[in-house]
Structure 1
Amino acid sequence: MPAATIPRKTATAKAVPAATLDQPVYEAVLDAVMHGQLRPGERLGEPALCERFGVSRTVVRQALHRLAELRILDIVPNKGATVARPGPKETREIFAARRVVEAGIVRMVAARITHGEVQRLTQRLRAEHEALHQQDHARWVALAGGFHLALAELSGNAELQRILSDLMTRCSLIVALYEAPGEASCEHAEHEQLVEWLALRDGEAAAGAMERHLLALEARLRLPAEEVPVAS
């Protein structure tokens, strides 16, 4: 694995004690997956990671096993670790979970959002729009995903933030696998509509807008037909 594909830091990694030796490996691999630098099905070589970070195989394996627990990686005995490849059924279940979680989040946000928080969300939308029109795809993807996480933070519920962060990490794999070329993983106009409902403190309308947004995102994926088990 080329060292250039594994950045050292990520803004989306899960919090663990700073003294954990495997944290730099964990963060770098997670960041590479989130930004599409490691593709679904790609194998991770332990020797290359050991050399890249100057750590032992024990430390590397600890990081890889943590990522496997999040279902970001698949680890097969005697074969090593590869980036997970979510199937159609898993994809639909993940999006169904996101619809439930994020509808609840925006209801909570609508009940407590302040004018200042609406203004900050609007500033995020301006940054999204700027990145989109400058054709800075990597920045735009990060901002679009960050919008959903920003809403979770505004809910004030740390558990919902954690759950959504995990779901969105797995969605990054799904988008890398199934998004059609030229499609947008998050439509800017749909985010604008969400902020408009939140500014009006209309939780039900915001929840409906979020559900439609996530259904549209899922509909833009090109999922393969599922194999039907053959009866014996």
Structure 2
Amino acid sequence: MNYFITIMIGILLCGGGMLEASVADKMPQPTPQAAQPDAAPLLVNLSYVYRANGQGEFLPIKEGSVLHSGDHYKLILTASEECHIYIFQVDSANKIFQLFPMGSFGGVTLNNFNPVKQGETVYIPAESKSFELDAQTGAEKIYFLASRARNEELETAYQQLAEKQERNSLQEQLAAIDQLLKYAEALQQSAETAERPESVTWEENGQQFSAFLQRLENVRDGVSYVLTFEHR
């Protein structure tokens, strides 16, 4: 995968706006945290769902699923113990943005912060809102990372990126994004999904919806799970 992007990073939030930015300085090279082989795995239940053009029922997004511009989508998760969750999305133009944690987006207050509480159901971006796919088509990846402890190195790397987005140094921005994505790739190990008979229900725009959750197996500290779908 080519880890270089243009100066824009963005995503449409239903009822919200576009996030745009440029970055100046090169971020420090993160050092991937080693997973703890003797620690019990984290039990995380996760669902990626979408509605075609924002209409009808929510359907599951699976590896290799095909979505289209204008489709609405959201993430739903629960954890068996308190933990820190980090979720990034990368589109075909290698634009990267953070889905979680996220305080607000497009003028909408979300208050999606770490740590995620034990047994709490987290809706991303919110129970009553969804993201909307923009016009940038091609393969998209969602990186999901979980750890018991706060990952300050990853937070710092992304924060430095966000704070320097008001400047216009394309060359250094490319290097910064490259490092952040390689960091996520370096953490990727063998987290896998298994179907669970558990479901969640929520309401959006006056309609009630439900979705089945998947359990992420072998989720150890610092291990990531990557979902790829096709955006047409």
Max Rg structure: 1
Higher relative contact order (CA 8 A, sep 6+): 2
TM-score, normalization by structure 1? 0.32
TM-score, normalization by structure 2? 0.32
Structure with greater proportional helix content: 1
Structure with greater proportional strand content: 2
